Amino acid sequence: MPRVICTAKMCEFGPHFEILQAAGFEVDTVPTEVDLRKEPHRVVEQVQGYDAVLAGAEIYSREVLAQLPDLRIVSRYGVGFDAVDLAAADDLDIAVTITPGVNHHSVAEQAFALLMGVARLTRSQDQAVRRGEWERALTPRVWGSTIGIVGLGRIGQAVATRAIGMGMKVLAYDPFPNKQFVDSHAITMVSIDELLSQSDYVTLHLPVTPETVDLINKDSLAKMKQGSVLINTARGGLVDEDALIEALQSGHLRAAGLDVFKKEPLPVESPLIKLDNVLLSCHIGGLDQESHRDAYAMAAHNIVKLYQGEWPEECVVNLKQTPDWKWTR
């Protein structure tokens, strides 16, 4: 009987158990007290002997994958795959899958929650009222402001439609935009430098690749408008946090809303925690009840399809030169 272990957070409930068990898999979960993001050295220990892993954000480096000879699939819960060494997975003939199209509305909602929280001073207002203080302040209106969307895939598009509903002017940067979507929503496509210099709010929706690591750095931050805001619900690796902290401390940026970080959980000693003009959340952008259910279902179906000889093209992110991949080596 093939074996699957679920290492993703909150995997104790969801449709994946029924889907996998109905296909003949034995399904186990990592003990709740084990956090593989905090204890990456335990990944090999937990995944050893399993044919597939329904994976969370833990790291699958070449060293880790090389120590898992039985592993055939890393089925990621979510759309990010920067935690998996794809070149190593290719070399070891391990399929890596993601769950596209299930959480874009959730991420878009979180991006706007952070944007509106920053725009309306929600954090400081809440704390002031709790202290018995009545600190009213004037803030720029969101309606009529300009939002720059970096990455116009599913999530970026979901942000764009919400921004239009909020009466914002929408700029976007994407190397390969969906022309039909752009035209039908009258979105202005610009270069990344134009977007940074013209936007009141810049929101990131790109994967982390060698080309996008630290896309937001000292130079790109200097190109942003004085008093603008950065929102990141994509990946922490897109932002040079030291440069961002400097821009926030100097007042060049009015504020930032961050759901993702270079190191997660965010260390309590991070200067970001001490900044009053930063709104923080714990990488919950892709989490709501519906996306949780649908992502676990798709991650499980990806494992079943590959086991049964199907190839979920939209979900497999590696093995581009191996169309004849088989479960059995």
Question: Which residue of the set 72, 76, 235, 254 is catalytic?
Answer: 235
> Could you confirm whether 293 is annotated as catalytic?
no
Contact 92, 69 (CB under 8 A): no
Name the nearest CA neighbour of 3 among 23, 329, 11. 23
> Could you confirm whether 264 is annotated as catalytic?
yes
Token code pair at residue 40: 């990456």
**Residues whose CB is less than 8 angstroms from the CB of residue 266 and which lie 6 or more positions away in sequence, other chains included:** 272, 273, 280, 282
Q: What is the DSSP letter of 7?
A: -
Contact 327, 42 (CB under 8 A): no
Distance, in Å, from the CA atom of 200 to the CA atom of 179, rounded to the nearest integer, reads 24
Contact 191, 223 (CB under 8 A): no
Question: Which residue of the set 105, 283, 292, 301 is catalytic?
Answer: 283
Distance, in Å, from the CA atom of 121 to the CA atom of 117, rounded to the nearest integer, reads 6
Strand partners, 253: 228
Cβ-defined contacts of 159-168 (< 8 Å, 24+) = 159/108, 159/111, 159/112, 159/203, 159/205, 160/185, 160/187, 161/185, 162/108, 162/109, 162/112, 163/112, 166/112, 166/142, 167/142, 167/143, 168/142, 168/143, 168/144, 168/201
Burial class of residue 99, CB neighbours in 10 A (0-12, 13-18, 19+): buried
Residues comprising the chain, all counted: 329
Radius of gyration of the chain (CA): 21
Distance, in Å, from the CA atom of 301 to the CA atom of 314, rounded to the nearest integer, reads 13
Contact 72, 291 (CB under 8 A): no
> Could you confirm whether 12 is annotated as catalytic?
no
Expressed in angstroms, the distance from the first to the final Cα of the chain is 16
Question: Which residue of the set 18, 26, 133, 264 is catalytic?
Answer: 264
Instruction: Enumerate the active-site residues.
Output: 235, 264, 283
